Structure 1
Amino acid sequence: MNNSSCISFDFTGKFLPPVYILVFITGMVANGLGLRSVLQKWEKLGNVSVFVFSLGLADILYLLTLPFLMVYYFKDDQWIFGEAFCKTTRFFFNLNLYGSIGFLTCISVYRYLAIVHPMRMMGRITVTHSVAISVMVWLLVSAQSLPDMFFPKSPTNNTKRCFDTTSDEYVGDYLKYSLGWTLTGFCIPLFITLSCYGHMIAVLCRNDNIDEVLKQRSLKLLFILILLFSVCYIPYHILKNLNLLSRLSVIKGTCHKWSNGVYIGHQISRGLVCLNSALNPLVYLHVSEDICSQLRQLLQQARQAISSLYSSNQTSVTDT
């Protein structure tokens, strides 16, 4: 059975380009301001600044690939940049996704240690340790993402495509790889993060000696992580694997009633997961209050520029 007779692919080209445009503009501005703020406040932020900087770097690397994906979908799924760059683009997406999860997990563990074991950890974790852990995360995520580049990203009879997973011939193998990747790259970090925050919340609730500001900041970070995982990461991993399973069934000649719904859901989850590059700067807001004033200043400048432009246009109309 042909995939096109079971699944309608029109939704992707209509949905993803506007999302990519929004994420590219918002993400570049927010991450640019965030990284500048982190560099200015490097010593004040302490060891966690290494992870926040790495998080921003992963976002920037992915955001720079979005214009090429916009062109791809605007040209009706015609990839004109070569197979090697197609695989590189997908690699940077995976590097951003699992790098973000990894660095958010590191930030959560550091916050947990600072609150639950402050005296035991005081002075024992240095910037050197943070850099070493950050390098390990980069290497681990790269090793997890590298096999993806060995899967074909276009059909054998059409080199002008750039699949986010692989061609139909290798879907079965890719599904096995994706399930293992989901376990190691997502489920284990999610379990570590939930364990840290579960214990941390228990300690915060029963200990009245902990600073109230520290409690509020910890709860804010918990809210940000819940937002990122529930909106960006959980739907993507569930629907990605369901979509691969659906494709495998279609290839074998079985078209389920839910196949098209799963495909559309997967495309929506792809849009949601790329939002993490625009939402990750919320972590900067948590670790640096300075970026809040920078964002307010930027918005104020934008309003002044628009007002000035409007006034000049009104003057021109009056003169004519």
Structure 2
Amino acid sequence: MLCFSFYLLRRPKHSQREGTVCTAVQKMMNETACPHVSSDFSGRFLLPVYILVFITGLVANGWGLKSLLHNWKKLGNVNVFVFNLGLTDILYLLTLPFLVVYYSMKNKWIFGEAFCKITRFCFNVNLYGSIGFLTCISVYRYLTIVHPMRAMGRITLTHSVIISVIVWLLVSVQSLPDMFFTKTYGNNTEKCFDTTDNDHVEDYLKYTLGWTLTGFCIPFLITLGCYGHVIVVLCSTNSIDKVLKQRSLKLMFILILLFSVCYIPYHVFRNLDLWTRVLTKQGICYKWYNGVYIARQISRVLVCLNSALNPLIYLHAHENIHAQLRQLIQQARQAVMRPSVPPTQFSLV
């Protein structure tokens, strides 16, 4: 309406200029409808979560890897994938102290651009390495339950190691281009973006769409297909051991939980946030962009929780590990509830 009124006040010979002014007016109106969200919001939001994930993830993965190595001979070839899953988590957890410093200093990066890229690379390797090894675990479970005669004896330790190496290589190749994108504001190295700056956001959006397809969508569909078939077999067959059936169903639930809570929101809102940045750069702006930005920060919190939730996989790798955890919890509960001994009962020497 404003542009139409402006047009009525002008003469036809200035129509080209009027269109330019009209576009500028529309752009101004769109920008005022989309107020800027301070980046300090992400710092206040991510800082406590990173601290919590670092502590719980380090303890849980440390205990899980120790238990896994202790029961190495009792576990199947799937332990190779579970072990590599723990390694990806440890790799990411060791970078969290630097991000804690970054956000505690109000988004001021003091470790240089090169280490910024290494930190983001470790996060991406953890994310897509976790997805890759969870997919391998799903396929292994599928073959063990649905095709036990074909899988028994054919999948050796060597095969599991080779597959793990291939997963590491594929994840590294997918994540490597991210290191070539700018992570700072020009020459200002006091920032450390998890994506890139606005000058390269269009190219980064194209890259991350392909990355999402190969690194997340395809493994997710494979996992869904495997466990969909497993559910059908478990529900229609009574000859399968009840313990194996319960363990498989629990593992399936954990994997679906990890994908639904940690991975799906992150990929959806990362690409959507990049798309809104591209539109904003073109002068197209709407109020719902702020909602996308906030959802993006929440998804970053959820995806980093995978390093603390992945140790749940250890619990279902073998029943001995589950028994050890129950015994550990029982001992801790007895130690807390045990009444203190009165000082008078101690003998004096």
Q: TM-score, normalised by structure 1?
A: 0.92
Aligned match of 1:276: 306
CA RMSD of superposed structures (Å): 2.2
2:160, 2:101 → 1: CA distance? Answer: 38
Deviations 1:45-87 (A, max 9, x none): 1100100000000000000000000000000110000111100
Summarize the Cα distance change of 1:294–1:119 in structure 2 as closer, same or farther, 3 Å threshold.
Answer: closer
Matches within 5 A, 1:299-314: none
3-state SS, counterpart of residue 285 of structure 2: coil
Aligned match of 1:289: 319
Q: Are positions 1:121 and 2:151 aligned together?
A: yes
Q: Structure 1 residue 239 and structure 2 residue 269: aligned?
A: yes
1:221 matched to 2:264? The reply is no
Cα deviations across residues 92-123 of structure 1 (Å, max 9, x unaligned)?
A: 00000000000000000000000111011111
Contact 1:155 1:168 in 2 (8 A): no
**Residues in 1 aligned to 2:117 and 2:301: alpha-carbon distance in whole angstroms:** 19
Equivalent position of 2:75 in the other structure: 45
Q: C-alpha deviations, 1:110-150, integer Å up to 9, x for none?
A: 00000111011111110000000000000000000000000
Q: Which has the higher contact order (CA 8 A, sep 6+)?
A: 1
- Aligned runs of 1:97-136 on 2, under 5 Å? 97-136=127-166
* Per-residue CA distance 1:156-193 (angstroms, 9 max, x = gap): 04211000000110000000000000000000000000
1:8 aligns with 2:8: no
Which residue among 198, 217, 230 is the counterpart of 1:168? 198
TM-score normalised by the chain length of structure 2:
0.84
Q: 1:253, CA displacement in angstroms?
A: 1.9
Structure 1 stretches lacking a partner, 5+ long: 313-320
- Structure 1 CA distance, aligned partners of 2:47 and 2:204? 26
The farther-off stretch of 293-302 and 225-234 is 293-302
Aligned counterpart for 2:60 among listed residues 30, 51, 63: 30
Q: How does 1:143-154 map to 2 (within 5 A)?
A: 143-154=173-184
90 and 157 in structure 1: CA distance in 2 versus 1, 3 angstrom threshold: same
Structure-2 residue corresponding to 1:315: none
Larger radius of gyration: 2
State the distance in 1 between where 2:337 and 2:190 align. 45
Give the deviation of 1:293 after TM superposition. Answer: 4.7
Secondary structure of 2:316's match? helix
Tell me the residue number matched to 2:211: 181
Distance of 1:148 and 1:175 partners within structure 2: 11
